[in-house]
Homo-oligomer: A and B are copies of this chain.
Amino acid sequence: MHTDLVAALDIGGTKIAGALVDGGGRILLRAQRPTPAHEDGESVMRTVEDVLGRLTVSPLWEHAMAVGIGSAGPVDASAGTVSPVNVPGWRDFPLVERVHRAVGGRPVTLVGDGVAMTAAEHWQGAARGHDNALCLVVSTGVGGGLVLDGRLHPGPTGNAGHIGHISVDLDGDPCPCGSRGCVERIASGPNIARRALEQGWRPGPDGDATAAAVAAAARAGDPVAVASFRRAAQALAAGIAATATLVEIDIAVVGGGVAGAGDVLFTPLRRALREYATLSFAQRLQVAPALTGTDAGLVGAAAATALGGRPGEAAAYVV
């Protein structure tokens, strides 16, 4: 018997993944297709329908009670639309209505991918047991999500926790979002690599000039590489401290490719947090690496499924 399964969709600029997830967060069936990111909106939707089709033909499908979608942002959960930056064919695309139709009227919940990852970390990862948490994804961009009062807090449009685009340097470099000195502009992988290159770091014989290569150089003691990670850590710390000061989180969970740098990131991050998180109620803040892996988007989308259909009342999962 598989009662209370949930269908999950994880929609990104590279792949569209789907799964049937049980009440324990286990993936019983999965399907995946590359995202035709540069084709028109209907072509992208056909790929979603194809992924869903691989789930609906399963005998397990009849137990799927609801669908949870975690999507690259921006999303608008109140309108049921998505406008992923890296999928130009989708602008205010009515994804919730289209999926709703494709799954025979089952309830559909939409959240941003940072919120989905947060739901997964709260359910099964490092934020488990924490009633107030910020989870970050530090990768090509910097995203995140919040748990407040023990529940996922997607916000009215499903974007809450979007720490990558808060300004921690109000006179700083222009950010592609239109603002200045955003956390992402300083701490994302490409910006860590850019800053190291600007300061004179050079890649090794393999030509790898990514943040992962900068992390390897930092571990080997390269001072420019160390300094670039230290600056990223400082921006992340200012953003995390701001979040702790605003909503009293007690843990910040950091995932994404850049978190793979390990101590090269986490040691200066913890040091900088002591400088920026100064108020008594913010000093208790812990920092931990994320525990959920590549399935976090699917597991989190399932976890974010709204029992009542309203994102603010989400978190169908039992912690």
A interface residue numbers (CB < 8 A to B): 74, 76, 83, 131-132, 146, 148-149, 153, 155-157, 159-163, 165-171, 177-181, 234-235, 238, 241-243, 245-248, 250, 275-281, 312
Contact yes or no, B74 A279, CB < 8 A = yes
- Bound state CA distance, A291 and B278, in angstroms? 31
Majority SS of interface residues in chain A? loop
Q: How far is the CA of A149 from the CA of B153 in the complex (A)?
A: 9
Question: Do A177 and B246 touch (CB < 8 A)?
Answer: no
Which listed residue (B149, B153, B246, B278) contacts A312, Cβ 8 A?
Answer: B149
Distance (whole angstroms) from the CB of A263 to the closest CB of chain B:
22
CA A276 – CA B183 in complex, angstroms?
Answer: 13
Whether B148 contacts A153 by the Cβ 8 Å rule is yes
Question: Which of A83, A243, A245, A247 has the largest number of chain B CB atoms within 10 A?
Answer: A245
Whether A248 and B160, one on each chain, are in contact in the complex, defined by CB atoms closer than 8 angstroms, is: yes
Partner of A238, one of B76, B163, B167, B246: B167
The 5 closest A-B pairs by CB, nearest first: A155-B248, A166-B242, A178-B278, A157-B281, A170-B238
Contact of B166 with A245 in the complex, beta carbons under 8 Å: yes
A125 CA / B42 CA spacing, docked (Å): 47
- Once bound together, how far apart are the Cα atoms of A212 and B167, in whole Å? 28
State which of B156, B157, B166, B278 has its C-beta within 8 Å of the C-beta of A177: B278
A156 touches B178 (CB 8 A): no
Given A157-B281, A165-B278, A241-B167: A246 and B248 interface contact (C-beta under 8 Å)? no
